Amino acid sequence: MSGVYERLGVRRIVNAKGPSTRLSGGPMRPEVAAAMAEAAGTCVDLLELHAAASRRLAELTGAEAGLVTAGAAAALLLGAAACATGFDPAAMARLPEIAGGRDRVVMVRSQRNQYDHAVRTAGLAIVEVGLPDRFAGAGCRDAEAWEIDAAIDARTACVLWVAHPRARPPLAEVAAVARVRGVPVLVDAAGQLPPKENLRRFLEEGADLVAFSGGKAIGGPQGSGLLLGRRELVAAAALQMLDMDYPPGLFRPDPAFLPTERLAGLPPHGIGRPCKVGKEQIVGLLTALELFLAEDEERRRGPWLEAVAALARGLEGLPGLALEPRLDLPVPELALRLDAERARLDARGLLDALVAGEPPIHPDPEELEEGRIVLRPDCLLPGDVELVLERLRVLLGPPGS
Ligand SMILES: *Cc1c(COP(=O)(O)O)cnc(C)c1O
């Protein structure tokens, strides 16, 4: 047990849910932690580091440019701001006020979610389109590309599309109508890794900017993210995040990263200044991304499949418990379905008991209403499988066993 947490009186948890913010992300690989510690010990010119990171991100992902951000939500804020202002320093300085400009984001109604605060923070209002009656069980349709087309007008800064296997209409169709109308498409792909092909996929399908979380599957610092995409938009985003406290003449970025010759003047600190990143985040995320891309996907899945198999073996025969391994997912998982009549606890009771134990065990509660809890292996530490098995056998086994 780590001394830093002990000194604060904070307990470790077993993270059987996967990387998520409220559970402090995932465990960081030692190589990433070491790279961050090394970066922390020396000062550099942050602008030079951002420019180098952008070049490296372009090599790794095929994007024209990239920016390390303080999370995917920060990337959405910065991306939306870039779409609203373009390369106009006066417009940057005015945000979140957008007088007479591009102050709206078109978004499919069924994709609205709690992270759209990020684009609203930049001063943009969301225009919803589509009637997702497939979710109400009252129909079978969702938004269609023509509806996005019809909603785009002179006030549209961008179309925001939230990547998910269920997302409708498909990105390629959305990008096609937006391209014709000259409006960029910003994609929220925060949690869409693995598979690692997705790092390139959304740009290939026509997105202009894509936001990824650095603290989820990539395994970077918990408070990091990526904004990838078109050079000009990434530059506008970067300008609105960077510290601009430069005496005249000293702001001299790599023109390939920030083409300042096209700026009418240097804007002051922008709307993204509250989501700054440090050298440690930049180096940590780049290191994590290199490791993530270098690792063979099947090899990465090997230990996860073993953990799921070990959990399933160890839980066989407990009364009222049905085991549903889902081995085909990018991250395989084990769903535990509890028969409320026969099991000692229902799904809600089991969740509460796991979280109340010592150390607390956190499964994924998303399917609680269907009577299931889900165990995921990608953030388990050595020994955690045994710990989870022991606890579940005590909670669900015959009394006194
Ligand atoms: C996790 C998530 C985010 C936020 O990512 P952070 O890196 O924590 O800022 C945004 N959008 C979606 C869809 C997510 O799943």
Which domains, ranges and CATH numbers included, belong to the chain? 29-294 (3.40.640.10), 296-396 (3.90.1150.180)
Separation of 69 CA from ligand 1 center, angstroms? 12
Query: How large a percentage of the chain has pLDDT more than 90?
Result: 96
**Residue 276 and residue 71 in contact, taking contact as beta carbons nearer than 8 Å:** no
pLDDT band at 399 (very low <50, low <70, confident <90, very high): confident
pLDDT at 230 over 60: yes
Backbone angles phi and psi of 266, in degrees to 5 = -90, 120
Mutate to test the pocket of ligand 1, among 115, 162, 224, 285 (most ligand atoms within 8 A of CB): 115
Question: What number does the ligand 1 atom closest to the CA of 215 have?
Answer: 7
pLDDT value for 99: 84
The pTM assigned to this predicted structure is: 0.96
pLDDT digits (tens, 9 = 90+) for 136-146: 999 999 999 99
Separation of 221 CA from ligand 1 center, angstroms? 14
Mutate to test the pocket of ligand 1, among 188, 228, 277 (most ligand atoms within 8 A of CB): 188
SS (H, E, C) 130-160: CCCHHHHCCCCCCCCHHHHHHHCCCCEEEEE
Span 230-256, mean pLDDT? Answer: 96
Separation between Cα atoms, residue 32 and residue 10, nearest integer Å: 23
Span 234-241, mean pLDDT? Answer: 98
Classify residue 401 as exposed, middle or buried by CB count within 10 Å of its CB (0-12, 13-18, 19+).
Answer: exposed
pLDDT digits (tens, 9 = 90+) for 261-289: 999 999 999 999 999 999 999 999 999 99
Question: What number does the ligand 1 atom closest to the CA of 73 have?
Answer: 9
Separation between Cα atoms, residue 58 and residue 60, nearest integer Å: 5
pLDDT value for 400: 66
pLDDT digits (tens, 9 = 90+) for 387-397: 999 999 999 99
Separation of 312 CA from ligand 1 center, angstroms? 30
Pocket, ligand 1, Cβ cutoff 6 A: 21, 71-73, 115, 162, 188, 190-191, 213, 215, 225
Separation of 98 CA from ligand 1 center, angstroms? 26
pLDDT value for 158: 98
pLDDT digits (tens, 9 = 90+) for 68-119: 999 999 999 999 999 999 999 999 999 999 988 899 999 999 999 999 999 9
pLDDT value for 340: 85
Question: What number does the ligand 1 atom closest to the CA of 223 have?
Answer: 7
Separation of 261 CA from ligand 1 center, angstroms? 34
**Residue 78 and residue 277 in contact, taking contact as beta carbons nearer than 8 Å:** no
pLDDT at 2 over 70: no
Span 322-349, mean pLDDT? Answer: 96
Tokens of 73: 């939500």
pLDDT digits (tens, 9 = 90+) for 18-70: 999 999 999 999 999 999 999 999 999 999 999 999 999 999 999 999 999 99
Mean pLDDT computed over every residue of the chain? 96
Residue nearest (by alpha carbon) to ligand 1 atom 12: 190
Task: Quickly count: other Cβ atoms within 10 Å of residue 4's Cβ.
Answer: 7
pLDDT digits (tens, 9 = 90+) for 156-204: 999 999 999 999 999 999 999 999 999 999 999 999 999 999 999 999 9
Q: Look at residues 348, 361, 350 and name the one whose alpha carbon lies nearest to residue 388.
A: 361
Separation of 198 CA from ligand 1 center, angstroms? 15
Question: What number does the ligand 1 atom closest to the CA of 20 have?
Answer: 1
Separation of 396 CA from ligand 1 center, angstroms? 34
Separation of 214 CA from ligand 1 center, angstroms? 9
pLDDT value for 401: 58
pLDDT at 1 over 60: no
**333-338 and 185-188 beta bridge pairing:** unpaired
